Chain A
């Protein structure tokens, strides 16, 4: 069965303290892996798409990487405004649905 597991569930960082979020997945043929950010009471906001192992994408303080079994979202020198829930999702070949993990709640303290 296709599934996504994210860790840790919650993470508290001091401003400037870099860290990584993990997304482990099992899927029968990966079509794409997606990272989203969600603020309370809002819909998920798209961050990155990764398609194949070895691929990397960067945006400001965020960098996403992909292997055959997991993806990492690296946050460099985070700021309080990076506080949010980060969601990982996969889409399998032959389907059009996203399978989401339960997310990592990130809190960055000033």
Chain B
């Protein structure tokens, strides 16, 4: 069974540009979430989607947005890039659990974004 696939693996962008990152979840997983990982802050939650609906959003500015398609694939977009947006962006997918529990999230290898 294929894992979570993120593309591209590496990106270099200039301040002020915008970028789109892609995530293909594990087959059958309908929940996709995004995280930003930096050395100083660790993993910070960006947003989570289920069946094309955003269910939770983290404390990031409106420049960060995302969407999910009917096949569960997801994209996130960052507009007007700033130097501080340089980070590893991780996507995770999971199946919904039952009885108030959630199944664990499986992560992709991430997209390393460098803003210069």
Query: B-contacting residues of A (Cβ < 8 Å)?
Result: 31-32, 34, 36, 41-46, 49, 51, 87, 89, 91, 93, 95-103
Contacts and interface: CB of A to CB of B under 8 A. Distances in A.
B45 A99 contact: yes
Nearest to A52: B101
Contact of A97 (B45, B106, B110): B45
Nearest to A91: B102
B59 to A, nearest CB: 11
Interface string B57-73: 01000000000000000
B56 A45 contact: no
A45 B107 contact: yes
A97 B100 contact: no
B45 A51 contact: no
B46 to A, nearest CB: 9
B108 interface: yes
Interface residues of B, number: 27
Interface of B: 4, 31, 33, 35, 42-45, 48, 50, 55-56, 58, 90, 92, 100-110, 112
Contact of A31 (B102, B107, B108): B102
A44 B107 contact: yes
Given A34-B104, A51-B101, A98-B33, A43 B42 contact: no
Given A87-B43, A95-B56, A99-B45, A43 B105 contact: no
A98 B92 CA distance: 10
B64 to A, nearest CB: 14
Given A42-B109, A43-B110, A96 B56 contact: yes
